Amino acid sequence: MMICEVKEMAFGLADMLFPPTCLTCGAALPGRGEDPFCAECLSVIQYTVPPLCTACGLPFTTIQGADHLCEECIRSRPPFSVARSLGKYEATLLDAVHLFKYHGKISAGEALGRMMARAPYDSLATGEYSLVIPVPLHPKRLRERGFNQSLVLSRQVSNRFNIPLDFLTLRRTVHTEAQVKLSGRKRRTNVRGAFEVTDKDRIKGHRIVLIDDVYTTGSTVTECSKVLMRNGAHEVAVLTLARA
């Protein structure tokens, strides 16, 4: 018997014993498709659609028109070239991120990472990038959570586009308060000086895709981008799963 036949039988048996269910609502799924969500949960995901800010990726409320800079990016250009997100941080994406981040469901994170890597991002032509770097966690937070959610997402992006992954060079050296509890201004001061590059040579001249799970005010990815650019990166593009 061929190995693949054995595998298929094993999967068949697993499906009988543990039929695949939707990650977020628990409904039975017709099979083990690429995404672990039912059609209904998939249908309520609000994917990011243009027009968007050409820099930070903020979606504009008008339905028509070309992409352009938003007010905030006109006033102060971010240190990253472009930021893009898969969709809005609500409904299915919010529930799935919670399962992943706060309940340790790594398989949810891997599925989200695949969806994130598969989506098209106009100006983020991923083929041109040479390094994928996740937003790092401080060692203390890493011990609490047991994993870095951004690294789980980064692996999928790195695999899909065949871009090397570097999760050692950018480090978080200051243990900061969780951003979730803070307002915009406090978020910026909270992460200031919290990151460092351990070895400039590893990022020098690279065009980097910086990965994080949620983009809220952008203060974390802004701070990381500043540090990467200051240390010789050629460009930093930001890709996040969801935008709050």
Residues at the contact surface with Zn ion, assessed by CB under 5 A = 22, 25, 27, 38, 41, 53, 55-56, 58, 70, 73
CA angle at 98 for the pair 15 and 78, rounded to the nearest 5°: 125
| Min separation Cβ 9 and Zn ion, Å | 28
Min separation Cβ 57 and Zn ion, Å:
7
In the complex with Zn ion, the residue whose CB is nearer, 8 or 122, is 122
Q: Where are the beta strands (DSSP E) in 54-97?
A: 82-88
Tally of CB atoms within 10 A around 69? 14
Please name the residues in contact with 170: beta carbons below 8 A apart, sequence gap of 6 or more: 133, 135, 136, 195, 196, 197, 198, 203, 224, 227, 228
Q: Cβ closer to Zn ion: 167 or 215? A: 215
Gap between the Cα atoms of 115 and 85, Å rounded: 11
Instruction: Give me the residue label for tokens 């871009």.
Output: 163
Cβ-based nearer residue to Zn ion, 76 or 162: 76
SS3 210: strand
Q: How far is the CB of 29 from Zn ion (least distance, A)?
A: 8
Please say which residue, 68 or 175, places its beta carbon nearer to Zn ion: 68
Residue (of 223, 221, 134) closest to 170 by Cα position: 134
- Helix and strand totals (H; E) in the chain: 9, 6
Q: How far is the CB of 131 from Zn ion (least distance, A)?
A: 24
Q: Compute the least distance from the CB of residue 78 to Zn ion, in Å.
A: 7
Nearest of 216, 214, 206, 221 to residue 172 by alpha carbon: 221
Among residues 5 and 71, whose Cβ is nearest to Zn ion? 71
* Closer of 56 and 203 to Zn ion (Cβ): 56
In the complex, the smallest distance separating the C-beta of residue 73 from Zn ion, rounded to whole angstroms, is 3
Q: Are strands 170-172 and 131-134 parallel, antiparallel or unpaired?
A: unpaired
Distance CA 100, CA 210 (A): 20
